[in-house]
Amino acid sequence: MIIMRDLTSLDLKFLLPELEILRGGRIQKIYQVEKKIWMEIHVHGHGTKYFYFSPGKIFLSDTKVPGPQNPRNFAMLLRKYLSNQRILDITQPGFERIIDIETEHYTLHLEIFSKGNAILCDKAGIIIQPLENQHWKDRNIYPSKPYLYPPAILNPFNMSIQEYEQIFEGKKKQLVIFMAIKMGLSGVFAEEICSRAGIEKSTPCQDLTEPQIVK
């Protein structure tokens, strides 16, 4: 049985090198069905690639899926701004569940968390149009508003042992739960990390010893 799950921040970190093939490619066509968006991108020396996005999912393929006969409004807007644009960069900001596609004149922010969203911005970071207007506690996703990233989450790849000690200090929460939620690793990877480190997953964070933290 195949268990489908949403991509985590960790997944995106290791997916990014695969997506870097799109750098220098030109966006040719864009399609949309509900919240699913896919782009046809011509990459010199590699032919046509198909980049797919939907809430919780991002992947690259050589297989084309036929687009709808009647394009959605957001797809038409993306075509207006992004058709024939060259992709300058494709990045994951920090350890967020976001992929940023930077073109010559615009940036498309693809948020895969929660309900998902795609937000087209100009070079000044002002929102031209989101797939869906959204109101959050810390930010608003509306046209003509500055695009703001969510509050930054911990990036376990940029932390020192001392910083790990600080975030675990005084935390009664179980290690596996803390890593899954606060460090954005999901339960699958958090349990695997505990297993490989030889640490009981239910250990309270505050009880970890320095050798355990190093592991």
Q: How many Cβ atoms sit within 10 Å of the Cβ of residue 45? A: 7
- Give the global pTM: 0.89
126, amino acid identity: I
Q: How many helices (DSSP H) and strands (DSSP E) are in the chain?
A: 6, 11
Segment 39-84, tens digit of pLDDT: 999 999 999 999 999 988 999 999 988 888 888 899 999 999 999 9
Per-residue confidence band for 152, with pLDDT thresholds at 50, 70 and 90: confident
Distance CA 55, CA 37 (A): 10
Segment 117-133, tens digit of pLDDT: 999 999 999 999 999 99
Put the strands of the sheet holding 98-103 in their side by side order. Answer: 87-91, 98-103, 106-111, 117-122, 127-130
